[in-house]
Structure 1
Amino acid sequence: MIVNSIPINQFSFMKLIDSSVSSYGFASSAHLFTQFHDFIDSEFCNSLVRTYTHLNKHIHSVFVYTQMRKAEIFPDFSTFPAVLKSVAQLGRGDIGKSIHCCVVKMGFFSDIITNTAVVHMYCTCLLPSEGRQLFDEMPERNAVSWNALITGYTHNRKFREAIDVYREMQAAGAEPGEVTMVGVLSACAHLGALNQGKWIHDYICHNRLRLNVFVGTALLDMYAKCGVVDEAEKVFGAMRVKNVYTWNVLISGYAMNGQGEAALQAFNRMIMENFRPDEITFLGILCACCHQGLVDIGKRHFISMKEEYALQPRIEHYGCMVDLLGRAGLLDEAQELIGTMNRKPDPIIWRALLGACRIHGQTQLGEFAIKNLLELEPKNGENYVLLSNLYARDRKWIEVGKVREMMNRIGIRKVPGCSSIEIENVVYEFVVSDLMEPRYEELYKSLADMKMELKVVGYAVYTDMVSYDIEEEEKEHTLIYHSEKLALAFGLLKSSADMTLRIMNNLRICQDCHQFFKLVSMLYRREITVRDRNRFHHFRGGVCSCKDYW
């Protein structure tokens, strides 16, 4: 094609678009489609859209699509999947809805590839309900369609829904593949649904699905996040191909399960096998050092990250170091590190420092940390709870009351404790409550009996962190109904004596519950695993894997 002595093909037209956009912006570049209208058809535009999508120039892809519509160049079956992928990457659900309307109006609503692309777009743009509605209306589905919904639910942290869709997929006779396995294993990992995860592992083996690097890493992550490190190690050993992410999952899995030495050994093996560590690797190593109190080793790795591997520490790495130093009582050194940061401290930093102040009773420094924290996050209830606990530790009940009044005045509520336990492939949830709930009556009685038995072997209720200056009996009443204790009582009542109880908790386990679980593991001869917000606690024979350092 020759226009004004300029040869027009896809490559030259893309150069014209890129040059025009760089100089004048998208709005002013629209004239190109008018200028060369006679030489541009749907096939030409489709090729542009696909190429821009492939090059990750997603805004350019959407630009070409909009100009097609303005120039009355009609999209076809190959237009929508590419442009919808770009819309998904841009996170522009509003544009996606407009394109979906165009799909319906132009009669493409029965095309399985286009519909799957729309489902993927909605889920990626954090609109899973719209994605599910369209999925249910699709006249035809294939494995890719099911995968889009499963992965979409996982992306939106709707993990139970992802597992439910996987079961629907099997009931419908669709064949799960590697992509399916990765999505549903990720959901199991986040839920701590070990039995479901094991079932999927068996399915992979029996149906001879490839244990490629993606499926293998997802399996490894599932076992690590369910607290079954020995199975994670077996999966790692069986993988023929590994990447840096695989090593990172192994190292982080060791760290969160209280096996700091194993994490360090894995790091050394990773280096010996010529894998170059990245920022995530070092985050796992620093977390391992933090959980084990390995201050000197943590310092060395933090320095080597910068000096040997030319990696710039992120705010999360600084947060780990502040936490590591603070927990060890090196609060002056932690403050000095904060002062040398090449960026402004964020809530991660101040929360780590505040947590250390609570442990070591440094109220004055804690007040300084909370002042900075509240400036950055005035609506985060966790910050007020930390401050309240800091005052409660020193029995400053007037200050505790002031914090509570402030929370009530500005409408902030503490995040309620929520724990779950999986029994016979069913996940049960328990929420802490200040009121007696009839549905928990059996559990309340069981907990009361357990407390009496535990007191015989030395259990003393740890009431220092209960935030009101009330009678000890009332404090004990408050602590005994924590959600993790309700889940524990349920597990003891509903499971066989040889079953390990695995409990998930959305908050950090409190000191009273920690002591309670240790003694239960000894007296009842049960292995108990608790995954709280920060790490795993493996209780066995009256001892915890964290060695009381958390």
Structure 2
Amino acid sequence: MSNKLMTRNVQALHLFNNFNRKIAYLSCLNSATGTLSEAKQAHAGALKAGLSTQPHVATKLLALYASHQCFTEADILLYSHPQPDLFSFTTLINASSKFKNFHRTLTLLVKMLSGRLFPDTHILPSTIKACAGLSALKLGHQLHGFGLATGLASDSLVESSLVHMYIKCSALKYAHNVFNRMAEPDVICGSALASGYAKKGDVSNATMVFDEMGKLGIEPNLVSWNGMIAGFNQSGHFLEAVLMFQRMHSDGIECDGVSVSSVLAAVGDLEDVIIGVQVHGYAIRLGLRSDKYVVSSLVDMYGKCGCALETLRVFEEMEKKDVGACNALISSLSRNNMVDDALKTFRKYKGQGMELNVVSWTSMIACCSQHGKHPVALELFREMQIAGVKPNSVTIPSLLPACASFAALAHGKAAHCFSLKRGFTDDVYVCSALIDMYSSCGRIKAARQCFDRMPRRNLVCWNAMLGGYAMHGMIKEAINIFQLMQSSRQLPDLVSFTSLLSVCSQCGLVEVGQSYFNSMSKDYGIEARMEHYACMVSLLGRAGKLEEAYSLMNEMPFEPDACVWGALLSSCRVHHNMQLGEVAANRLFALEPKNPGNYILLSNIYAARGKWTEMDKVRDMMKRAGLKKNPGCSWIEVKNRVHMLLAGDKSHPQMAQILEKLNKLSMEMKKSGYLPDTDFVLQDVEEQEKEHILCGHSEKLAVVFGILNTSPGTALTVMKNLRICGDCHTAIKFISRIERREILVRDTNRFHHFKDGVCSCGDLW
């Protein structure tokens, strides 16, 4: 055999072997549909066989990688091809859209267009879906325009994707136009459009689209009805949600758990327990009493309607109690002021091993924080972290009011640090809560720093900062922040003006306060409410214009409430106006028969005038009503621990040292001109005994406790549950100068900054 013939035979054999390998590889590739390992083996085989650039092979490999979401490997394969075809891009675009990798979807679209390949009816729906997922309305418009220019927009899948894209981008007008032009509108698009209008609160359009579906021969299904009920509920149109449920029932459509859960939420917000009971009975007839979502909604509904016992009964009847129902129960009990029951329920199911989630812990923390159990709220936050449950951006604003009310600055700072680590400080509600916490703990500069660092602000943030300055009686800063608020094009609301009028009242700026009061309706169209009149009565009353304050009350467009009469009575106490004080007190006794504070204020007026007989009569009235004076209580944080001191309480372990130090300070203060103001002792006893009683006031005890337990020169912050008395106010001014300390005292009205013998309130409070 010649050499030439032998060469030809070898070449033929080589080609035959290559052909066999390719046939074998293609067979292997077609069967490779399982694991990622098989996909990588197939890719390696393609490279070895020299088939990786073949369109059919490349498309198959791309599909394998995409099915395992290995988009990086898929991209490398795609971009290694000199001229990827439309099928390759279709595979990747559809896969990335399916797995909601919308940024990659649109990146692939741009790459495809740069290669002069254009979308078809297989690609266009996926790219439109990506626009919907990213709320990219402008690009969605462009793709719609491309579809209209190429005729692809008439494809049913493209039309459906356009409708859903416009709905998700809140462009309901465009969605409606596309729906109207559909050759064969379907129940999915019609239901989505009607539900979209319902969620936006557009009742007329939602109802019109829903009714038009029937005229077009489209029978609304269960999803359609549920979408309408849930949509109206979401937009706050609770009555419309209930009416839609009633219509659904009258049309003979059998409801499911979603329908019942949605309408129960609306009934709860309407607080209509009669309808709620009817829906409850209907749910039982449908056999939904074991549906966990229905049970949770029933618990929530009865709680909102104030039926605490029914709430507990529904929960206890639940066969398998889950965390959702438990959360609903905690929320319901909290709403009905049954804090101890809520805490008991929480502890019980936590002890039984129920996997309580972040909602459970947050609800319980909020419950305790809102109802005065501040130490418990702080302890729960600590337990939550030990349990491995990560707080979220809702937990922090729920916790911070407890820190603010309890003067727990260290805990508040810890929550702030936690928020920084978790990236919550961009959340406007977290920041607003931090501003309020720092303001309430006497750190107004820290509050302003939080405010200034905010990347964006809403009305809640502005009001928090304005309220902080009002709490500290900082009139110039309050006015400046109000002006900055206006220059930032943020319109004030009722809360904004309440803070402004409050700070004007504290600082005795009658004309400035009257100017703001008048500008509410004149410049902003805001009608004054009860709280604004209360501020004005307080403003005029504190300035000694009691008759003018009383005249304003008679001119109010509604009957004065307890807040307004209380403002007048407080002013009568300051100016010892017994006649008008009796009028205010008698009205308050009728409005708030169980509030001991009103009796105490009238007693103060009588005591200041030496009317001991009249004062005794008021005390007898209190006894007959079963009322007792709320004991003065003050808190101070020392070494990251909050200490509480009660007026007249001698059980504190350091009380002997505190009283000894207080006696020494009293002697030094008297040398400097201090005279105890015994008018604040509501007992007909000797002057020496009155002085002794004054020494037991809680704010004095807390200040001295702080002096004993901190380094010289350390600033002190004290919180009090009642208004600071005049004698304590005078005494703490002297103490701040003698001890060379800055002392902050927050009472129920405002902050008092004592330094060098002077108070920031200017003795007006």
TM-score, normalised to structure 2's length?
A: 0.65
Please, which runs of 5 or more residues in structure 1 have no aligned partner?
none
The separation in 2 between residues aligned to 1:448 and 1:426, in whole angstroms, is: 26
Contact 1:30 1:67 in 2 (8 A): no
The separation in 2 between residues aligned to 1:141 and 1:13, in whole angstroms, is: 29
Give, in angstroms, the shift of residue 500 of structure 1: 1.6
1:129 aligned to which of 337, 340, 348 = 340
Give, in angstroms, the shift of residue 337 of structure 1: 0.5
Give, in angstroms, the shift of residue 178 of structure 1: 1.2
The separation in 2 between residues aligned to 1:350 and 1:375, in whole angstroms, is: 11
Q: Decide which moves more: 55-64 or 319-328.
A: 55-64
The separation in 1 between residues aligned to 2:477 and 2:620, in whole angstroms, is: 46
| 1:342–1:58 CA distance, 2 compared to 1 (3 A) | closer
Tell me which residue corresponds to 2:378.
Answer: 163
Contact 2:299 2:312 in 1 (8 A): no
Tell me which residue corresponds to 2:566.
Answer: 351
1:212 aligns with 2:415: no
| 1:151–1:438 CA distance, 2 compared to 1 (3 A) | closer
Tell me which residue corresponds to 1:323.
Answer: 538
Tell me which residue corresponds to 1:371.
Answer: 586
Counterpart amino acid of 1:187? A
Contact 1:52 1:58 in 2 (8 A): no
Counterpart amino acid of 1:47? S
The separation in 2 between residues aligned to 1:146 and 1:378, in whole angstroms, is: 37
Q: Decide which moves more: 520-529 or 397-406.
A: 397-406
Contact 1:45 1:65 in 2 (8 A): no
The separation in 2 between residues aligned to 1:307 and 1:99, in whole angstroms, is: 52
Contact 2:393 2:424 in 1 (8 A): yes
Contact 2:733 2:758 in 1 (8 A): yes
Give, in angstroms, the shift of residue 298 of structure 1: 0.4
| 1:436–1:72 CA distance, 2 compared to 1 (3 A) | closer
The separation in 1 between residues aligned to 2:300 and 2:713, in whole angstroms, is: 49
Tell me which residue corresponds to 1:69.
Answer: 284
Tell me which residue corresponds to 1:381.
Answer: 596
Tell me which residue corresponds to 1:114.
Answer: 325
Tell me which residue corresponds to 1:253.
Answer: 468
The separation in 1 between residues aligned to 2:637 and 2:604, in whole angstroms, is: 31
Counterpart amino acid of 2:616? G
Tell me which residue corresponds to 2:259.
Answer: 47
What secondary structure does 2:398 align onto?
Answer: helix
Counterpart amino acid of 1:190? S
What secondary structure does 1:464 align onto?
Answer: helix
Larger-gyration structure (1/2)? 2
Please, which runs of 5 or more residues in structure 2 have no aligned partner?
1-186, 188-216, 233-237
Give, in angstroms, the shift of residue 209 of structure 1: 3.3
The structure showing larger relative contact order (alpha-carbon pairs under 8 Å, at least 6 residues apart) is: 1
| 1:129–1:377 CA distance, 2 compared to 1 (3 A) | closer
1:223 aligns with 2:438: yes
| Cα-to-partner distance string for 1:466-521 (whole Å, 9 max, x where unaligned) | 22332110110110100111111211111222422111111110111001111111
Tell me which residue corresponds to 2:717.
Answer: 502
Contact 2:713 2:739 in 1 (8 A): no
Give, in angstroms, the shift of residue 220 of structure 1: 0.5
The separation in 1 between residues aligned to 2:363 and 2:651, in whole angstroms, is: 40
Tell me which residue corresponds to 2:63.
Answer: none
1:234 aligns with 2:449: yes
The separation in 1 between residues aligned to 2:220 and 2:309, in whole angstroms, is: 33
Counterpart amino acid of 1:516? A
The separation in 2 between residues aligned to 1:404 and 1:351, in whole angstroms, is: 19
| 1:62–1:408 CA distance, 2 compared to 1 (3 A) | closer
The separation in 1 between residues aligned to 2:652 and 2:635, in whole angstroms, is: 19
1:479 aligns with 2:689: no
The separation in 2 between residues aligned to 1:546 and 1:438, in whole angstroms, is: 31
The separation in 1 between residues aligned to 2:373 and 2:519, in whole angstroms, is: 38
Contact 1:315 1:349 in 2 (8 A): yes
The separation in 1 between residues aligned to 2:508 and 2:308, in whole angstroms, is: 45
Contact 2:257 2:293 in 1 (8 A): no
Contact 1:14 1:48 in 2 (8 A): no
Give, in angstroms, the shift of residue 381 of structure 1: 1.9
Tell me which residue corresponds to 1:145.
Answer: 360
Give, in angstroms, the shift of residue 75 of structure 1: 4.0
Tell me which residue corresponds to 2:57.
Answer: none
Contact 1:33 1:67 in 2 (8 A): no
Give, in angstroms, the shift of residue 133 of structure 1: 3.1
1:468 aligns with 2:698: no
| 1:229–1:63 CA distance, 2 compared to 1 (3 A) | farther
Give, in angstroms, the shift of residue 314 of structure 1: 1.7
Contact 2:260 2:294 in 1 (8 A): no
The separation in 2 between residues aligned to 1:415 and 1:382, in whole angstroms, is: 8
Give the count of matched residue pairs.
535
| 1:505–1:142 CA distance, 2 compared to 1 (3 A) | same
| Cα-to-partner distance string for 1:242-292 (whole Å, 9 max, x where unaligned) | 111111111111011010111111111111111111111110000010011
| 1:286–1:211 CA distance, 2 compared to 1 (3 A) | same
Counterpart amino acid of 2:262? R
1:516 aligns with 2:731: yes
What secondary structure does 2:328 align onto?
Answer: helix
Tell me which residue corresponds to 1:300.
Answer: 515
Contact 1:87 1:95 in 2 (8 A): yes
Q: Decide which moves more: 310-319 or 200-209.
A: 200-209
| 1:365–1:152 CA distance, 2 compared to 1 (3 A) | closer
Contact 1:182 1:218 in 2 (8 A): yes
The separation in 2 between residues aligned to 1:58 and 1:437, in whole angstroms, is: 47
Contact 2:632 2:697 in 1 (8 A): yes
Tell me which residue corresponds to 1:445.
Answer: 660
| 1:222–1:478 CA distance, 2 compared to 1 (3 A) | same
Q: What is the root-mean-square deviation of aligned Cα atoms in Å?
A: 3.1
| Cα-to-partner distance string for 1:171-208 (whole Å, 9 max, x where unaligned) | 12222221121111121112121111112112222343
| 1:311–1:393 CA distance, 2 compared to 1 (3 A) | same
Contact 1:520 1:542 in 2 (8 A): yes
Counterpart amino acid of 1:420? W
Counterpart amino acid of 2:336? C
Percent identity over the alignment is: 37
Counterpart amino acid of 2:741? R
Give, in angstroms, the shift of residue 48 of structure 1: 4.1
Give, in angstroms, the shift of residue 34 of structure 1: 9.5
The separation in 1 between residues aligned to 2:386 and 2:266, in whole angstroms, is: 35
| 1:61–1:7 CA distance, 2 compared to 1 (3 A) | farther
The separation in 2 between residues aligned to 1:12 and 1:211, in whole angstroms, is: 38
The separation in 2 between residues aligned to 1:186 and 1:322, in whole angstroms, is: 28
Spell out the pairing of 1:92-111 with structure 2 (5 A cutoff): 92-103=307-318, 105=319, 107=320, 109=321, 111=322
Contact 2:497 2:516 in 1 (8 A): yes
| 1:127–1:270 CA distance, 2 compared to 1 (3 A) | same
Give, in angstroms, the shift of residue 300 of structure 1: 0.8
What secondary structure does 1:427 align onto?
Answer: strand
The separation in 2 between residues aligned to 1:398 and 1:162, in whole angstroms, is: 45
Give, in angstroms, the shift of residue 320 of structure 1: 0.8
Q: Which has the higher helix share?
A: 2
The separation in 1 between residues aligned to 2:329 and 2:574, in whole angstroms, is: 50
Give, in angstroms, the shift of residue 85 of structure 1: 3.9
Tell me which residue corresponds to 2:490.
Answer: 275
| Cα-to-partner distance string for 1:14-67 (whole Å, 9 max, x where unaligned) | 999x9xx99xx99xx99986994xx525xx242342266379556567643431
Counterpart amino acid of 1:184? L
| 1:66–1:221 CA distance, 2 compared to 1 (3 A) | farther
2:641 aligned to which of 426, 441, 466 = 426
| 1:233–1:73 CA distance, 2 compared to 1 (3 A) | closer
What secondary structure does 2:524 align onto?
Answer: coil
